[in-house]
Amino acid sequence: MSEPSTIYRLPLAAYRVLDLGPGAAARYAARLLGDAGAEVIAVERAVTPRSDAFRQLNRDKLGCVLDFAMPRGAELVRRLAALCDVVIEGFDEAERERFGFGYEALRALRPDVIVTSVAGASADGASATFAGIAAGTAAAAAVCVALLHLRDTGEGQHVAVDAAACAPAFAAPLPSRSQILVDSRLRERRFFEPVSHLEGGVIEMPALLWRLGMTPCHVRLPAPEPGQHNRYVFASLLGLSEEEIAELEAKGIVVGGWSG
């Protein structure tokens, strides 16, 4: 049997997750999976302001900006989905159809994909609600159940969370931020962790929520700057050439990557 020191590998390190947003519930679900070690690629349809909530919701992710309202952008998202074990999306029915991101469409490209739909959540950029956080947590739970099913059977599936239906079961009074900031028990437990951002400096945010005894529990990545990982996504994963990427940028389908 291997020694504990040899298994410092995060639990979901073998999985890639495509996070299409929009909305805090889908983003939070993907964040939890990123915290647990999955490679999460967050797609922004357009550059989103880097608010405090954005940075918390999108840490432990890679990021690209891709306008999937345009047919060529949507096609690239579908090609990306075929390279991912899990897709998380928070679209309404009409958007999902319009973009071509429904379960059947994605399954045709990757038969064992796990598609996670989180309905009834708020739009990107808007502040998170507790309903969104509860729905995001439920969605992360559903993904983990689906990953176990995938491991045992090789089958993917469509899992779903309805924020409006599920969240009231968890609707609890929350402490105020000012209470939390001075809570000595939380400080002693190292509830906050400083995370250094490329732009925006060091921001203290809640550390990993679940403490696993045999894996390190730190934030691995700050939230991406706009398009920070465009090159990885479009060149390394999708195999597009420099010329093709330049053309997509010229058409505004890919929004230029952050370059320090």
Partner 1 sequence: MTEPALSELLVVEVGRQVAVRYCGLLFRRLGATVLVVEPPGSDEPSSDLNAGKESMTLDLARPEGGALLGRLAEQADVLVADDSLPAELDCARLSRRNPRLIVTCISGAPLDDAAQRFVGLNAFTATLLPLITMSVLGRGQRIEVDGAECLAAAAMLVGDGQVPLETREPAAGELPFTVEGVVPPEPVSPAGRHNDEIYCELLGLTGDELARLRREAIV
Closest by Cα among 50, 72, 18, 78 to 258? 50
Helix (H, G, I), strand (E, B) or coil at 184: helix
CB nearer partner 1, residue 46 or residue 214: 214
**Cα–Cα distance measured from residue 174 to residue 245, given in angstroms and rounded to the nearest whole number:** 45
Binding mask 144-183 for partner 1 (x = CB under 8 A): xxxxxx-xx--x-x-xxx----xxxxxxxxxxxxx-x--x
Closest by Cα among 166, 104, 103 to 133? 166
Closest by Cα among 254, 259, 258, 260 to 240? 254
Determine the size of the site formed for partner 1 (CB under 8 A). 70
The CB density around residue 105, as the number of other CB atoms within 10 Å, is: 16
Q: Is 140 a binder of partner 1 (CB under 8 A)?
A: yes
Dihedral pair phi/psi, residue 54, rounded to 5°: -60, -45
CB nearer partner 1, residue 69 or residue 174: 174
Choices 62-70, 73-81, 193-201, 202-210; region in contact with partner 1 by CB under 8 A: 202-210
Q: Is 112 a binder of partner 1 (CB under 8 A)?
A: no
Find the binding residues for partner 1 in span 24-43 (CB under 8 A): 24, 28, 32, 36
Q: Is 209 a binder of partner 1 (CB under 8 A)?
A: yes
Choices 40-48, 68-76, 141-149, 236-244; region in contact with partner 1 by CB under 8 A: 141-149
Which residue of 187, 211, 218, 251 would you call a contact of partner 1, by CB under 8 A?
211
| Cβ contacts of 98 within 8 Å, gap of 6 or more | none
The CB density around residue 217, as the number of other CB atoms within 10 Å, is: 15
DSSP-derived pairing of the beta strands 157-162 and 114-119: parallel
**Closest CB 62 distance from partner 1, rounded Å:** 20
CB 81 within 8 Å of CB 87: yes
DSSP-derived pairing of the beta strands 157-162 and 192-196: unpaired
Binding mask 61-100 for partner 1 (x = CB under 8 A): ----------------------------------------
The residues that touch partner 1, with contacts defined as CB under 8 A, are: 1-2, 4, 7, 9, 11-12, 14, 24, 28, 32, 36, 53, 56-57, 127-131, 133-135, 137-142, 144-149, 151-152, 155, 157, 159-161, 166-178, 180, 183, 185-186, 189, 191, 205-206, 209-215
